Amino acid sequence: MDQSRVLLWVKAEPFIVGALQVPPPSKFSLHYLRKISTYVRTRATEGAYPRLYWSTWRHIACGKLQLAKDLAWLYFEVFDSLAVKTPEERLEWSEILSNCTSEDEVERQRNQLSVDTLQFLLFLYIQQLNKVSLRTSLIGEEWPNPRNRSQSPDLTEKSSCHNKNWNDYSHQTFVYDHLSDLLELLLDPEQLTASSHSTNSSLVSREAVVALSFLIEVEGTTKRAKIACNTHVAPRMHRMVVMSQVYKQTLAKSSDTLVGAHVKIHRCNESFIYLLSPLRSVTIEKCRNSTFVLGPVQTALHLQSCDNIKVIAVCHRLSISSTTGCIFHILTPTRPLILSGNHTVTFAPFHTHYPMLEDHMAKTGLATVPNYWDNPMIVCRENRDTSVFRLLPPCEFYVFIIPFEMEGDTTEIPGGLPSSYQKALGHREQKIHIWQKTVKEARLTKDQRKQFQVLVENKFYEWLINTGHLQQLDSLVPPAAGSKQAAG
């Protein structure tokens, strides 16, 4: 008999991308999920099992769980975004939605979507990862994590709102502690007692084992590397890159290391970070006074506990929690999610490009339409006040220039700009032409032109200092190589 140790690897992606960082609806408890598990099996001919169609889930969620329709769709769509689909399939879906002329047409298209029923039940159950526990609320921390014992106080998370989505120990603990509940959700009704519990003689079906692959896989005898970057050893869907404590720097990267990786950016301050590759997911946590320019994010872009951050990205979904004074220039086919604890949020249209952008969008299945950057959804119980966010006024809008050379075919902002913002840019350009014409017609002498140039340069330098852009320009000067290396 082979005595080699076989390890169960709890997958990170369902927790990083799939578990919304907000307490789940109370009706997602095990009690109600057991009822759904039984119900769908009795409705196999009505689009409930083994594939659950949107129309059936809408009936269950809205009619039986009393969820709002938007919230029901949110969970369905988040799970669907985790499904293995080709970029072409995702682009085709975006095109279908963009051609819809009414909400009824959108709904008819959604009704054709289905997801794996058993895996969707597991997805709903793991939303409990961010459930507020009474014990945590009382003492301010979770049960001791053995992996934290050797960490410095600065790196140890003691807040009750720490990000469990990126804590692999939380993932493993959650699955191991709730494995019996997860299995009971997957068992056929005849394998359960009258009270919906399993017995020693309960048998797990092949379909249930396949469904468990949503959360677990057998890794074999090699442990996953616990390093900042595991892209050279991890399976494709589990590649991770972690960046931490970048301070007063400009960091630019476009490489195979980033392609398809889950990226976590942590505790960065007064920096400009460019990650110009197609990414799987991005989490930005506890960062301040920084700008992040990202390549297309295939699944979720999440910000938590950030202040005065500017994010520029094409992403499938944006969600934000506990942010203050942040600006989001985004292109997204789903409504941005405003979770709890946010203040002074600004949304604006995506306003930049780099040569490989459209190629990267195609690889991640992201299109220019539909684009819901200006239609956020507030998902928090304590406050649904729309004053928490604003749309950037066109008079404050400027395009963003990525200051690196790369090869590629993209030469303009994908999808263009909304007309009001394009009009504001045109009006500003007109003012510049008028100014240039005025200077030309002033017929200044050579000495007057020199004096005038000095005055303009001094004013421009003052503006660079006052706006903080001088630091960005200074940090772009490479020590020896050119900008191609910085971007490479």
Residues with Cβ < 8 Å from 237, sequence gap 6 or more?
A: 11, 13, 260, 280
- Mean pLDDT over 133-146 rounds to 45
CA angle 284, 128, 107 (to 5 degrees): 80
The count of residues in the chain is: 488
Q: Residue 6: pLDDT band by 50, 70, 90 thresholds?
A: very low
| % the chain with pLDDT above 90 | 52
The pair of structure tokens assigned to 473 is 């320009």
What letter represents residue 416's amino acid? G
Please check whether residue 290 is in contact with residue 274, taking contact to mean a CB–CB distance below 8 angstroms: no
**52-61, 167-176, 380-389: lowest mean pLDDT where?**
380-389
CA angle 38, 43, 44 (to 5 degrees): 105
What does the pLDDT read at residue 272? 92
Q: Which of 41-50, 214-223, 452-461 has the highest mean pLDDT?
A: 41-50
What does the pLDDT read at residue 472? 66
Identify the structural domains of the chain with CATH numbers, from first to last.
8-132+167-190+206-216 (no CATH), 226-419 (2.160.20.70)
Residue with the two structure tokens 């689009």: 47
Confidence check: pLDDT of 12 > 90: no
Q: Convert the pLDDT of each residue in 147-202 to its tens digit.
A: 443 333 333 333 344 567 777 778 888 998 898 889 888 888 777 676 666 667 67
Give the Cα separation of 167 and 285 in Å (integer).
13
- Mean pLDDT over 408-430 rounds to 94
DSSP string, 177-188: HTHHHHHHHHS-
Closest among 80, 74, 38, 35 to 58, alpha carbons compared? 74
3-state helix, strand, coil in the chain (%, to 5): 40, 20, 40
Please check whether residue 95 is in contact with residue 88, taking contact to mean a CB–CB distance below 8 angstroms: no
Q: Residue 141: pLDDT band by 50, 70, 90 thresholds?
A: very low
DSSP-derived letter for residue 103 is H
What letter represents residue 74's amino acid? L
What does the pLDDT read at residue 170? 84
| % the chain with pLDDT above 70 | 81
Long-range contacts of 136-142 (CB under 8 A, 24+ apart): 136/160
List phi, psi (to 5°) of 215.
-115, -30
Please check whether residue 244 is in contact with residue 266, taking contact to mean a CB–CB distance below 8 angstroms: yes
Give the Cα separation of 232 and 313 in Å (integer).
26
Strands 307-321 and 297-304: parallel
* pTM of the predicted model as reported, rounded to 2 decimal places: 0.77
Closest among 144, 170, 138, 168 to 156, alpha carbons compared? 144
Closest among 224, 241, 242 to 233, alpha carbons compared? 224
What does the pLDDT read at residue 467? 73
DSSP-derived letter for residue 279 is B
Determine whether 366 is exposed, middle or buried from the number of CB atoms within 10 Å of its CB (0-12, 13-18, 19+): buried
Compare 228 and 154 and report the one with higher pLDDT. Answer: 228
3-state SS assignment for residue 397? coil
List phi, psi (to 5°) of 436.
-65, -40
**18-27, 259-268, 443-452: lowest mean pLDDT where?**
443-452
Give the Cα separation of 233 and 387 in Å (integer).
46
Give the Cα separation of 195 and 67 in Å (integer).
25
Confidence check: pLDDT of 486 > 50: no
Confidence check: pLDDT of 145 > 70: no
**96-110, 121-135, 228-242, 280-294: lowest mean pLDDT where?**
228-242
